[in-house]
Amino acid sequence: NNCSNNQFGINLVYSSSNNNISHNDCFNNSNGISLVSSNNNNISHNDCFNNSNGIYLSSSNNSTISHNNCSNNSYGIYLHSSSNNNIISYNNCSNNQMDGIDLYYLCNYNTISNNNCSYNQIGIYLYASSRNTIIYDNVSFSEIGLCLYGSDNNNISYNFINNHSHYGILLQFSNFNNVSYNTLTANNICIQDEDCIDNFYEENGDCEVKYIRTNPSPPVGDDDDDDDDDDDDDSSSVIPGYEFYFLLLSIVSSFFILIVIIRSKNNKNIQLC
C-alpha cells in the first residue's frame, strides 16, 4: 500500500489490536504509521520516509516493531505516554532530524535491539522512561549516541556507539542504570554522568566516565540551615584567631571566679554590726 501525503499514513486508534501492518510505503505524512491506545500489533517491513514521526505509538503496549526503514523523518520511531512492553528490533532509523528512536514519558519495559540508528541528532533517547533494555544496537555519527534524562533502572549493553561529536552516552538525572560491555570509539566525550546516583559501568573498553555534579538550589525549608552555616563561616573569617580569643576569655573568667571563691572562704567567719 502507498500511504502518502496525508495527516496519517496508517492510523490505528482505541483498542485496535492484533493487527499486522506490513509492506507499506508511508511518505510525507504527519505520522507515517500511528497507534493510539492499541495493543498487540505487529508493524514490520514498512518504509516510512519524510514524516514528522516515521512510526508513532501512544499508550500502546505489547507490540512488535521490526524490519522497518524509518529514515529522513523528524523522529524515526517515537513512543509516547506509557507505551510499555514493546519490542523494537532490526529497524533502520537513520538520517532523522531529531532522534532515531525516542521513548518519551513513562515508556517502560521496552526492548530496543539490533537497530541501526546513525546520522541523527540523538541516536536513542529516553525521557522519564525506566526498566528498558537497549542491546546490540549500532548507534553512530550523531551528536549524541544514547541519551537518558530522568530515566532509571535501564540496561544498556553490547551496543556499538561510535563517532559522535558530543557524547557517546549521556546520562542526566538518571539513576541505577547498568551500562556495560558496550564498544565506544571516536566519541568527543565517551560517557558523561550528570547528577545521577549509583549507575553501574563495566567493561566499556577504554572508555572513562566523566562525572558532573552541579549545586542546585536548596529545597524549600532548608534556607534557615544554610544561612546558619554561612553565619558561622563569616564569623570565623571576619575575626582571625576567633577560637584563641574565646579560649583566653574563658581562662580569665575562671581566674576571677577562683579569686571570688577564695575571698569568700577567708571572710566567712566575719560578722558585721
**Residue ranges covered by each domain of the chain:** 8-216, 224-266
pLDDT given for residue 258 in this prediction: 54
pLDDT given for residue 219 in this prediction: 33
Residues near 107 by Cβ (< 8 Å), separated by ≥ 6?
A: 79, 80, 81, 82, 83, 84, 126, 129, 132
Cross-strand pairs, 149: 127, 172
Task: State how far the Cα of 48 lies from the Cα of 28, in Å rounded to an integer.
Answer: 9
DSSP 68-86: -EEESSSEEEEEESS--S-
> Angle at Cα 202 formed by Cα 196 and Cα 205, nearest 5°?
115
Q: Would you say 53 and 78 are in contact if contact means Cβ atoms under 8 Å apart?
A: yes
Fold observed for domain 8-216: Pectate Lyase C-like (2.160.20)
Classify residue 261 as exposed, middle or buried by CB count within 10 Å of its CB (0-12, 13-18, 19+): exposed
| Residue 217 φ then ψ, to 5° | -60, 145
CA-based radius of gyration for the chain:
32
Task: Please give the chain's pLDDT, 273 residues, in tens.
Answer: 888 888 889 999 998 999 999 999 999 999 999 999 999 999 999 999 999 999 999 999 999 999 999 999 999 999 999 999 999 999 999 999 999 999 999 999 999 999 999 999 999 999 999 999 999 999 999 999 999 999 999 999 999 999 999 999 999 999 999 999 999 999 999 999 999 999 999 999 999 999 999 966 333 333 444 444 444 444 333 334 444 544 555 555 555 555 544 454 454 443 333
pLDDT given for residue 3 in this prediction: 86
Cross-strand pairs, 57: 35, 79
User: Model-level pTM?
Assistant: 0.79
